[in-house]
Amino acid sequence: MARRAFITGVTGQDGAYLAALLLGKGYEVTGLVRRSSHAQYGDHRLKHLGIAGSVKLVDGNVTDLSNLVRVVAEEAPDEIYNLAAQSFVQASWSQPILTGNVTGLGVVNVLEAMRIAAPGARFYQASSSEMYGLIQEERQSEKTPFYPRSPYAAAKLYAHWMTVNYRESFGLHASSGILFNHESPLRGLEFVTRKITNGAAQIKLGLAKELRLGNLAARRDWGHARDYVRAMHLMLQQDKPDDFVIATGRTASVEDVCRIAFGHLGLAMEDHVVVDAKNFRPAEVDVLLGDASKAKRVLGWMPEISLEEMIVEMVESDLAFLRR
């Protein structure tokens, strides 16, 4: 019988790539979709990957426990991937309570639904390198102390510890992937890499003249979402649930990303990038650099796509999208 996976956040970047990976492995995939007024489902990313018809979509919301209990009981999944979140760090200062409800408490709702309706399933929590915030070690591993710097990061930290707690308290197979930034052509337009690749492509096509950004010195450990969803799946194939850092081990600045994107198009970033105070954050995470040696050792996971390859893929995808 086919294995069954249930994904919250299936319409997001990672949800789409993960669904494609699992379908390719023969899974039956069900995804939770929240209602919105403008389209029946915001499934453009699933359509982009050609899998919209292959994923079973069910209505729901991670803030509604009764809904989750019903869905989990009906779907009887072997694996639950909890990717749903208010995931934009900047928005978490203007919507701190919503972020706490969805990104923090929403995770407990999914854990509770699993404990009540499918206690034998395996659970993946989408934890984040943002939990390291004001870094306490130059390279961040599973042992590095956390220091969240935004309402988003604080909500993720609560969810992370609740995942650990449900594992230790109830013996659930619950794992937490501490993933560093990962991007792709399916990244939301508000996140800096996609803002840069889409902005540079617009300038190349004469659709815009400038690109307004914030802190160009911020550094992140950037990988590709396609590589990172492989790690999520591998975590749930282990006999023992655990926590894993997933990262490339290389850090680059926002300015470096601009140089790759504009350079690929034969443009000079100095002619187009404008620093705008509006894009600065009340508290910044200056630098992140992950140590994924445990994932390499235990899961056999390694990233395959470089930052340069990824940014070029995103620029080309944005050019093609804008030309259409």
Which residues of the chain form contacts with ligand GDR (CB under 6 A)?
87, 89-90, 128-130, 180-181, 190-192, 195, 213-215, 218, 220, 254, 279, 281, 284-285
The count of residues in the chain is 324
Buried b (16+ CB within 10 A) or exposed e, 49-83: eebbeebebeebbbebbebbbebbeebebbbbbbb
Which does residue 61 bind out of ligand GDR, ligand NDP, none, counting CB within 5 to 8 angstroms by kind?
A: ligand NDP
Residues 6+ apart with CB under 8 A from 169: none
Is residue 179 part of the contact set for ligand NDP (CB under 6 A)?
A: yes
Which member of 5, 51, 71, 85 binds ligand NDP (CB under 6 A)? 85
Pick 14 or 272: Cβ nearer ligand NDP: 14
Which does residue 215 bind out of ligand NDP, ligand GDR, none, counting CB within 5 to 8 angstroms by kind?
A: ligand GDR
- Under DSSP, the state recorded for 233 is H
Q: How far apart are CA 124 and CA 84, in angstroms?
A: 11
- Helix and strand counts by DSSP (H, E) for the chain: 12, 13
Which member of 5, 6, 9, 299 binds ligand NDP (CB under 6 A)? 9
Is residue 109 part of the contact set for ligand NDP (CB under 6 A)?
A: no
For residue 178, the minimal CB distance to ligand NDP (Å) is 8
For residue 304, the minimal CB distance to ligand NDP (Å) is 17
Cα–Cα distances in Å, from 76 out to 69, 119, 166, 182, 237? 10, 10, 19, 30, 18
Q: How far apart are CA 187 and CA 225, in angstroms?
A: 9
Is residue 29 part of the contact set for ligand NDP (CB under 6 A)?
A: no
Which does residue 104 bind out of ligand NDP, ligand GDR, none, counting CB within 5 to 8 angstroms by kind?
A: none
3-class secondary structure, 142: coil
Q: Using CB under 6 A as the criterion, what x/- string covers residues 121-140 for binding ligand NDP?
A: -----x-x------------
**Phi/psi-derived region of residue 292, left when phi > 0, alpha when psi is between -120 and 50, beta in every other case:** alpha
For residue 216, the minimal CB distance to ligand GDR (Å) is 6
Q: Find, among 156, 181, 168, 186, the residue nearest to 314 by Cα.
A: 186
Which member of 5, 20, 22, 62 binds ligand NDP (CB under 6 A)? 62
Size of the site for ligand NDP (CB under 6 A): 26
For residue 5, the minimal CB distance to ligand GDR (Å) is 21
Query: For binding to ligand NDP (CB under 6 A), which residues are involved?
Result: 8-9, 11-15, 32, 34, 42, 61-63, 83-87, 102, 106, 126, 128, 179, 181-182, 188
